[in-house]
Amino acid sequence: PSARTFYDEIGGEPTFRTLVARFYAGVREDPVLRPMYPADDWEGAETRLRMFLEQYWGGPRTYSEGRGHPRLRMRHAPFAIDDKARDAWLTHMRTAVDSLELPDEQDATLWGYLEMAARSMQNRWPDE
């Protein structure tokens, strides 16, 4: 048996389902983000993000089985992610993380990663 992962610690699949459902509820209403997403495949987008996050935190490896190596910066290249888009993404993610009501330490672990990852996905800067 493998060691208990952060995925397990915070509640496994139900936790990640709640997280991405809350997140996409916000994204679907967001004037900056909404147009970037595939209007006919919100469910697919939700599944891809959930599978990636589950895998990242030690859960099932389903993401890579279906999508291969994440290469997330490359996959985000088609979208113009400036400060506004990054902040909008983080705002909806913050609301989603809050909805989990995790203990402070787990909240900080999850949020620290998401903030770092969102900064690394930015691909447009003010004076370009």
Q: Which residues bind ligand HEM (CB under 6 A)?
A: 33, 36-38, 45, 48-49, 52, 67, 72, 75-76, 79, 81, 85-86, 89, 114, 117-118, 121
Q: Based on CB atoms, which residue is closest to ligand HEM, 1 or 79?
A: 79
Residue type, 91: T
Residues 6+ apart with CB under 8 A from 85: 32, 33, 36, 79, 122
Contact between 109 and 119 under an 8 Å Cβ cutoff? The reply is: no
Q: Based on CB atoms, which residue is closest to ligand HEM, 97 or 114?
A: 114
Nearest approach, Cβ of residue 56 and ligand HEM (Å): 7
Q: Any idea which residue has 């909240």 for tokens? A: 107
Nearest approach, Cβ of residue 1 and ligand HEM (Å): 28
Contact between 16 and 114 under an 8 Å Cβ cutoff? The reply is: no
Nearest approach, Cβ of residue 4 and ligand HEM (Å): 22
Q: Based on CB atoms, which residue is closest to ligand HEM, 72 or 103?
A: 72
Q: Return the closest-CA partner of residue 49 out of 74, 26, 67.
A: 67
Q: Based on CB atoms, which residue is closest to ligand HEM, 1 or 86?
A: 86
Nearest approach, Cβ of residue 33 and ligand HEM (Å): 6
Q: Return the closest-CA partner of residue 123 out of 88, 91, 67, 84.
A: 84
